[in-house]
Amino acid sequence: MWTQHLRNLCSSSWDDLVSKLSTSTISVIIFSLSVPVLIFIAGLTYSFWQARKSGTGTKDIFKSSVIPSAIAAVLTAMVWILLFGWSVAAMIYKDHQGLVADIPRIKSEQSASDQKVMDSQRREIEQLKKQVPKLNPQCWMQSVPLRTPRVPATAQSASEAVIICNTELKAPRTMVLYYDQQPSGYSIPLVAPENTGHWGNVTMRDNALAATLTVGFVGAYQGFVVVVDGGSTTPPVVTKFVIR
């Protein structure tokens, strides 16, 4: 993995270097390598030919031809190495600057993408909400006798009515319970499991018990209970109820 990145870095740095020098790789190979080598070989060949004619030693030819050419080649290579090293450093810094400059853009694009996803999810939720059928407001009631009267001294029986609705009841609301016989006593309706609402203005007239939700609310599927006493051993039972 890192070797591939290194090759890409060197390749990009070299391309940038030759571009800034207004040259090309072929030109560097020809004029910085091939031509000097050919000139060196040609000069060396000519020196040997002259030495053979004049009887000069090989050592003198080496000193006069090979050493200066080698020094020139080393200096040329050092210049190119320095230039290439500078190009690599410049390319690394350029990439760093580009990444730093891209951070705000990337963050902005990511934020826009996240917003699109959130908007799409919100639209899907709204579509799903439209597909869900709406519940018709409805309440259920069950009236059951109690084994022990609420006030045994004055009552011979008792019953409780448990009422649950599938929608929230907000004050003010009026409830009327109709019993099969007139209760001898009653309790204020209790909201369970939490006292989020308060029933007041409880009145009894004939077989009907009326109460008003004066404060708060009764949540959906949050039941409330009404307990009444009976004057006979048969407890009063709710036959009908109305909430309006």
> Domain-by-domain residue ranges, the chain?
2-131, 139-243
Give the residue from 149, 133, 186, 143 showing the smallest Cα distance to 164.
143
Q: Residue holding tokens 């409330």?
A: 224
Measured distance CA(180)–CA(230) in Å, rounded? 11
| 35-54 vs 67-131: helix crossing angle, rounded to 10 | 170
Is residue 144 within 8 A of residue 228, CB to CB? The reply is no
Q: Which residues of the chain have pLDDT under 70?
A: 1-2, 31, 43-44, 46-48, 50-67, 69, 132-133, 149-153, 191-195
Instruction: Classify domain 139-243 at the CATH class level.
Output: mainly beta
pLDDT digits (tens, 9 = 90+) for 42-70: 766 766 676 666 666 566 666 666 667 67
pLDDT at 157: 86
pLDDT at 195: 62
pLDDT digits (tens, 9 = 90+) for 203-230: 888 888 888 888 778 888 888 888 888 8
Is residue 179 within 8 A of residue 208, CB to CB? The reply is yes
Measured distance CA(238)–CA(211) in Å, rounded? 15
Measured distance CA(108)–CA(29) in Å, rounded? 46
H/E stretch holding 158 reads strand 157-165
pLDDT at 62: 61
pLDDT at 178: 92
pLDDT at 95: 80
pLDDT at 150: 62
